[in-house]
Every structure is written in C-alpha cells, then in structure tokens.
Structure 1
Amino acid sequence: MNKLGQLACPFLFFMDYKTEQCYVSELSNIKEEDIRFQVKDAYIQLQNFAEKELIVKSAIIPHPVDFEIYKSAFDRVKNELLLGNSFLTNLTVETPITLNMGLEEVIFHAKAKYKLWVKDQFVCFSPESFASVNPEGVISSFPMKGTLTAKEFEAGSTELLAPKEYHEHTTIVDLIRNDLSKICDKVWVERFRYLDFIKKQNGEGLYQVSSEVSGQLPTDWKSNMGDWFMELLPAGSITGAPKAKTVEIIAAAEKSTYKNGERGFYTGVFGIFDGESFTSSVMIRFIENQKQGLVYKSGGGITHQSVAEKEYQELIHKIYVPVF
C-alpha cells in the first residue's frame, strides 16, 4: 500500500478481521472472473463488472444458531461489561442460510455502497463506510451503530433515542475520534447521529444511525498509506471500547458462535485508492461459502443495558440481501 501510494498507482485491497490475510493488487491486474468490486461514495465511483438484468427475486431463509448458544456468549460478554472491562462489545455470529441465487448473482444485483465478491469464498454488500480520504488529505470515518426496523420506526418507536442506543453510538464515535487522533494533526465530528435507510429484499427496511468523524492527515499521506491505515484497525464499530481489551473479550466469546472459532474476512475491510482519493468499507452484510453451505454473518453492539432476546432478534433482522 505504501509503495503503490508513493507511485500514485490505483489499487484494491481487502483484509480479514485479524489482518492476517491481506490482498493488495493494482486495479489493472484484477481479473473479473476472480474478484468483482463496486464502490460508490463521495470521492470514488468504480466497478469492474457490467450490470445484469434481475431474473429472479431473491429469497433468503435463515437457520439461526440456537438461542441458548447465543445467550451463553452474550452472558460472557455481559459479565465483562459489568466488571468494567469493556463499555461496549460487538458480539457476532454465523447463521446458516438457504439462498435462491448464487453469490455471483448477489454481487450483480445487491444494492449497496460497497460490494466485493471473491470467487468461491464470499460476497459482501456493505452499507458502512470505514475511512475515506479526499485529495486534500481530509480523512472521514463513518461509524454505524444503532438499528431499528422500518416497521418499528414508522410505528413511532423511540428505541433509537433510548439511553442504551445513545451510549452505544457515542462510545463508538469517541473511539473513532481517538483512533484518528493517532494519525491526524486535527480531528473533529462533522455530523453526529444521522439516519440511513437500507431497503431489504422483502420490501421492508432498516434504519441505522451513523456519524461522520473527520481529521486532517499530514501532506505526505499517500506515501505511507499502509502505515496509517493499519493504525486504525480493527474497526471500532465492530469491536468496541476500550479496543484492545474488548478484542480479547470478543475472541473468547465468539469461540462458540463460529464453527471455526473466528470471524475470518467478516468485519475486515476492503477499499480502493484511485491515484488521488482513497475509500474503504467495513465488511458487514456478508455471506461466506463454506463446505457445509452458505453462512450469513451478523451481530450487534452489547452494553450493560442490553437484553439478550432483543440482541438476538437484531442479528436476525440483519440477515437480508438487498435485491429487489
């Protein structure tokens, strides 16, 4: 990343949650039959495949992990919160699914700001920006934390305004502000707690709360792009605070919510540098191809006010493919 940034050479990258598996390639070397991507944000609009006509409406059937398995992991996290070892912990699970289309069809038709398909491995259709940098070196991060179904929102639910949701979101904004302070000369909150609407394949939708935290990078930001970017990982919105201790808590709790005991590329990051601007996304809304079949990975933030039953329902609500 440093080398290609110094050369102002456009490239794509993606890496797993632990940053143990990392892929970086010049855009000109990427073959569509192996990797397909699409990015649509304020600075970069790029894709390497042509749109196709939707033949069949998507249908997804989740087969959720048993509630008791989830609750065991939840109780472990909740105990750490009550001990004061974390203020917010993002707990995730994998859910076997039945899907009436292939992952290649998902990348063609899913509606999302960021899309990535890696042959025989996974597809991601993420609504969540991670870090974007304009040509002047202003970096912006967009933590997304707080979810409500459209049906609940339109019925007048005030859950997104509840202390639990406010605390959860504020904690992540503060964490991102601290992360950016490691690499920026100046940091500020550009927008605080605005709503995004995301449509699901069944015609329903989700409202999610985001903020925009910005900073000014040094003038040589392109020449050491890999160094400062790695300083920000793992993403605060999918870990918690304080980050280092919370990552330890997540590792212990999620041994029971994943068959192989870890997230893999889910909640990792992918992004593009076009020679002048940079953008990246947190890999949420994620379907993985495993030997046993397809699994959908999802989760949510846990605070001391969280209730296991509600959090369990939220991770199921997040199992959708935005194809319609």
Structure 2
Amino acid sequence: MQKLNKNQEVIEKMNEFGKSQTPFLFMVDFEMGAPMVIPLHDLDNNKLFYAMNDNFVSYQNFNPINFKDLKPLQIIKKPIGLKAFKEAFDQVLANLKKGNSFLTNLTAETAISSNWSLETLFHKCKSKYKLFVKGKFICFSPETFVQIRESGKISSFPMKGTINAQIDGAEAIILADEKEKYEHTTIVDLIRNDLSRVADKVWVERFRYIEKIKKEDGSELLQVSSEICGELGTLWKERVGEIIFKLLPAGSISGAPKPKTLEIIKEAERKTFESGKRGFYTGVFGVFDGDKLDSAVMIRFIEETSKGLVFKSGGGITSRSSAEKEYEELLSKIYVPIF
C-alpha cells in the first residue's frame, strides 16, 4: 500500500472527524509542507491558544489574564531597506509586465523588538481571529478564510485594499483608486473560481465594503472586503478536508493565476525572507465545532526566531503599483491592535 503524504493524512483525518462530528483545530502553512489537525479534546491548552470572535462563532480555549503594573507597549521596528524590497518588487513587476501574473502578493519580514512577550501581546491584542503557539508565533488576523454553515453554505471574505482612516476622504479615495479596484476585482474573481471547485453554486454577496481596524496607537485603518458565497450540499462534513485543501493557498495572499504566481512569489521572496519562505504566515487555521467551521488567513503575524522577533507583512502588486507605495503599505501593517 502506498504511504500517504502529510497533506493526504491531514485531509483524511479532517474528513473522518467531520463525518463523526468530532470538533477539531487545523493549521496549514503557506507552502503546505507542515499541516496539522488536532481534535479539540487532545489540544494542549498550555501551549496553543486560539480565539474566534465575530457574528458567526465565538470560541476560545483560554481564560483572560488581568495584567498588573504592565508598562506601555513599545515596539521598535528594523525594516528591510527600500533597496532590498525594490529588488524583489522589480522581479515581480517584470513578471506582471510579461503577463505571467495579473496580481502577485509580495510579503517581507521586519525585525522588531518589544518590551512585552508574545504571550502578553496575544492576551492584550483585540482581533477577530487570534492564535498563539508557544515558542513559535502569534497571529491576530482580521481576515476570514472561509466559514461553512451546517446547511453547507460556504462564504469567503477576501480583504484587499488598505488606507489610513485619518486621511481626509479616505473611504472615497480607496474606493475610487483604479489600482486598488483592479486588485480587489482580480481577487474576487479568483475566489469565485476557487469556490467553484468545491461548490455547486457560487455568487458575490457583497462587493467592496469597508471595515475599520484599530491600531495600538489609537489610529484606524480602512480595509476593503468582499463576500463570496457558495453551496456545498448537506454532506460537506464528510469531505471537509478535501474542501479546505482544494482552496489553498488562500487567493488573497497569493495572486492570479495562482500556480504561476506561486512560482513568482517563491523566487522573489528569497530576497525578503531570511529563511526563503513564509512558513505559517499567510497560511490558514480554523476550528470545526461538530456542526460548522470557521477559519482565518494568518496575516498580522509575529514569529519568534533564533535571532529575535520578526513581523511579517505585505500586499498585492499589480502592473500599476509603485515600489515606494507598496513599501509604505508593508510598513503600515506592522502594528498590534492594542486599544
């Protein structure tokens, strides 16, 4: 009998847990080389914390901590230089101009230091989705990957387009920006195609609506999102692993067309990541509670490395992008939502 690879093993376990309605947590890295699935009753609640809090579900496996005599948060950033970023950007732009990609998500790591531990940051930050793996990383993501209702309705909420809310007329500016509109529309089309691989009927429920995200300094970002839905049928739990893996990696943090764009990302990000890969950053994690599933794209991400902490961030690049503006956006996303 042929031995299953790691992805196939995780898919089969997720399908098995789905069929038996066994609650589980899953994590899949961007490169899809180290996926994992853990029944919630086997989860080590001392080493892995998660929280999901929105209108769809409310889960968490930890008790809030009341920190006393905590000093104000300080984060010192030591970002990649514009020159180094521009080398990766130019490589992406050359592929875009050749027609190898219509949209490529380019990300980078920024060395940071903080007077708070990762665990303290996790407990103090506020976000729709949070994940902490002791000694590894924290994630405080505002972006849903997919939600699946018991009925089999699947919904995805790609976020693409960010602007400082303090700018006069910020909402009108971001919605009127042709580059941002093209980028967002491309991702919506990609997500529609992705959902069509697993769902019988697919439609756009909402297109380019605005969400507000608070930063630790009290300022706000405006984020542009859309909602795309599909119908999976009533037996979706028996194939939940297949459904999730057919949608990976997430379109909003890769690009289109996906296969060629992933090759471009792999080559370009050798210049922006010391390890040459993203790891769990921009992967997905989620929880199946026995009836429904909620999941997040792992953006807004701090990793603990042998050389210290790194914050990973990025954005979508089109043929209309400029290196300077994309560099500014990359840096603007280096924040922790403490307020």
> Could you say which TM-score interval applies, normalised by the shorter chain?
over 0.9
Q: CA–CA distance in 1 between the matches of 2:330 and 2:190? A: 23
Q: CA–CA distance in 2 between the matches of 1:184 and 1:75? A: 37
1:249 aligns with 2:264: yes
1:38 aligns with 2:48: no
1:14 aligns with 2:27: yes
Aligned match of 2:111: 96
Relative distance call for 1:20 and 1:46 in structure 2 (3 A) is: same
Q: CA–CA distance in 2 between the matches of 1:177 and 1:153? A: 33
Within 5 A, what are the aligned runs for 1:1-324?
A: 1-54=14-67, 55-152=70-167, 154=169, 158-324=173-339
Indicate the larger mover: 294-303 or 33-42: 33-42
Shift of 1:98: 1.4
Shift of 1:42: 2.9
Relative distance call for 1:253 and 1:311 in structure 2 (3 A) is: same
Is the Cα contact below 8 Å between 2:161 and 2:184 reproduced in 1? yes
TM-score (norm 1): 0.98
Aligned match of 2:3: none
Total equivalences in the alignment: 324
Is the Cα contact below 8 Å between 1:93 and 1:258 reproduced in 2? yes
Relative distance call for 1:159 and 1:246 in structure 2 (3 A) is: same
Name structure 1 gaps, 5 residues minimum.
Answer: none
Is the Cα contact below 8 Å between 1:147 and 1:160 reproduced in 2? no
Q: CA–CA distance in 1 between the matches of 2:21 and 2:292? A: 10
- Taking only the aligned residue pairs, the percentage that are identical comes to 53
Is the Cα contact below 8 Å between 2:163 and 2:170 reproduced in 1? no
1:264-304 deviation digits (Å, cap 9, x = unpaired): 11000000000001010000000000000000000000001
Indicate the larger mover: 86-95 or 32-41: 32-41
- Report the aligned-residue RMSD: 1.2
Shift of 1:155: 6.0
The one-letter code of the counterpart of 1:303 is: T
Q: CA–CA distance in 2 between the matches of 1:24 and 1:303? A: 35
Indicate the larger mover: 148-157 or 292-301: 148-157
Q: Secondary structure in 1 aligned to 2:319?
A: coil
Shift of 1:59: 2.2
TM-score (norm 2): 0.93
